[in-house]
Amino acid sequence: MAVEQTIQEGQAWLEDYQTSRRADVHRMQSELDRLQTRRSELSERISHDNADVASREELDQIDQDIESIKEELTTLRDTVRATVTAKRQELSAALNESMAALEKEVAEKRGERERIRSELLPAIERRRDELREREHQLDAEIRRLSDEIGQIGRVSLEAEGIEVD
């Protein structure tokens, strides 16, 4: 069926999409973990030497990068959630549409079956009974006519036996 194929293709697309997005999330999470490790190192360094300007600048840059990745992760997760929800709704709508069409077809077939059962078959039965009655009438007429033919045949045979002088 076309609907089954559409559903299978939709599910395959969803699986591919989710797998791809999970890889993106994993990559971003790994980058976030790396930055947070570096941030911890820099924070420790600054806590020992508060005058280390290069470390402070790098720490500020890392903090911005961490925030940027967190925002990207949030956006990606929201986008994935919305996309998956929309695709599932699309597939659900296709299923519902298909089911409604099949239910309509079932109702039509039931209606046709009921019409055959309640109207057409009784009409055919009546017609069959009428034809059988007509067949009996014709049989009776054939017998009657055959009897008349037989009587006429006897009359003409009896007439041949009469002599004329």
Dump pLDDT digits (tens) for 115-127.
Answer: 999 999 999 999 9
Three-state SS for 57-70 is HHHHHHHHHHHHHH
pLDDT at 21 over 90: yes
**pLDDT the model gives residue 51:** 81
At 162 the three-state DSSP class reads coil
**pLDDT the model gives residue 159:** 57
Q: How far apart are CA 52 and CA 46, in angstroms?
A: 6
pLDDT at 13 over 90: yes
Convert the pLDDT of each residue in 129-151 to its tens digit: 999 999 999 999 999 999 999 89
pLDDT band at 46 (very low <50, low <70, confident <90, very high): confident
Q: How far apart are CA 90 and CA 84, in angstroms?
A: 10
Domain regions of the chain by residue span:
2-160
Does pTM top 0.75 for this prediction?
A: no
